[in-house]
Amino acid sequence: MIEIFRIKKIQFLLIWGLLLLSFNNNFFKTMDSQYHFDVFMDGTQSLVWGRIANSEQNGLFSDGMLMGRCYPTPKECNGNNSICAKRFQKKIFLNKYKIENYQVYKSHPAIHTLIFTLINTLLDYEPNVMVELFLFITALINAFIFAILIHLIFDKYGMFIKFFIAIALIFNFWFICYGNEMYMFFGFMFLPLIITWKIFSDINAGKEINNVQIFLYITLSVFLKYLFTGFEFISCSVLMIFIPIIYFGIDKKNYYKNVFLSGVLAGLAIVFGVIIALCVLCLQLWSLEGSFNEAFIHIFSRFMYRTAGESAIDPEKLKVLSVLKYYLQERAIDYNRNFQFSFEQLVWYYIISVASLSFFKKYKSLILASVVALLASISWLVIFRQHSVIHTHVDPIVWYMPFLFFAFAIIGLAIKELSLFFLRAYRSKRNLFIR
């Protein structure tokens, strides 16, 4: 028993290490261009550098602890919204330029930036050292979260599947790009899945957890997701909660009744968690605006903008099929420009693998859970089409939230089962020949 525990611990540490190497500095050259890896999402990440710089000069709790950008910026940047002005935010932190004005970003609580500013205050190293430290901490935590996710959900399918998932993800450049990105901190978007999976796993193992506890745990998971990552890709995060409900409910008696009741409970918890998050955001905005009415108007307008879009966008582009077609055709893997796969190709490999595993009853739970994972991933592309149409340089990450984790597990299992089938057939044929 001790040896098994040690082996699993070593597996966990190896997966964590592999992910950390990729997240921190593109170690396996998943992206051909190190420059593109280094500057990925630096426009939105500038909000974090602006927050750290502002906290350093004006206090940890200044401006509602919200992210934002510092001004003035150089004249050559040609405006505050230019990429030059955004990239200048890091220079403000590095060179301690005087901040005259701070433009708050109102839609994200960014509690993790408070952690960064506290670390910056406590350590007080050279700014360039702190920059590397913040990026490393982000990569370290994200890698840890995903190592937990892989180990927690897929451990029962064996070491091969866990490493197959980890290595497959390492070759996906969208996944790796987000590894040390400080604005999204996208590992925390998976907290609802991890927490809910642990709850229903414990229940399945015979642990007594009542409905009130389930409700509170799920509510907490949604609220924690909000605190660290705001409402970014919120539909993907909250729909992840239904994956373990389906997975662990499959083989139980009164399956439909159990899944329905658990689903209703989870739905209520999600709504309650989102309401609490909205109340917190309202309080933050009230502290800035001095009016709850202004806070509500801001939240409602941002929701309508992200879903319906603005009139300048071609209505044809906002059609569901148009959005899905675009994101299916986007590249997921482009290794050395020779080893290339689009998301559409990965989806087809997944479908073929599902068909091959459908003959095995033992994979029924995982297959149905993977379907829910697919729905969770594409939910953002369907509901928040405006964001998807504009932010094509950002939104492909939804395919990993969490569909491709399950897709790679399904593909790996299909490869494993087919390999075992042909091996058994070969051994059988050889034995007949020997006889």
**Tens-digit pLDDT profile for residues 257-270:** 888 999 999 999 99
Residue 294 pLDDT: 64
Per-domain boundaries in the chain: 2-19+133-421
Cis peptide before 402 (omega within 30 of 0): yes
Q: What is the mean pLDDT of residues 330-347?
A: 91
Say whether 70 sits in a helix, a strand or coil.
strand
Strand partners, 339: 335
| Range among 279-288, 375-384, 420-429 with highest mean pLDDT value | 375-384
**Helix-, strand-, coil-residue percentages of the chain, each rounded to 5:** 75, 5, 20
For residue 189, CA distances in Å to 218, 228, 234, 261 come to 13, 8, 8, 25
**Tens-digit pLDDT profile for residues 120-166:** 989 978 999 999 999 999 999 999 999 999 999 999 999 999 999 99
Say whether 66 sits in a helix, a strand or coil.
coil
Cis peptide before 72 (omega within 30 of 0): yes
**Tens-digit pLDDT profile for residues 93-104:** 999 999 999 999
Average model confidence (pLDDT) across the chain: 90
Percentage of residues of the chain with pLDDT beyond 90: 67
Q: If pLDDT is split at 50, 70 and 90, which confidence band does 305 have?
A: low
**Tens-digit pLDDT profile for residues 65-86:** 889 999 998 888 887 788 899 9
Number of other CB atoms surrounding residue 390 within 10 Å: 15
Of 418, 404, 412, nearest in space to 356 by CA? 418
Q: What is the mean pLDDT of residues 268-291?
A: 84
Q: If pLDDT is split at 50, 70 and 90, which confidence band does 1 have?
A: very low
pLDDT at 432 over 80: no
DSSP tag of 342: E
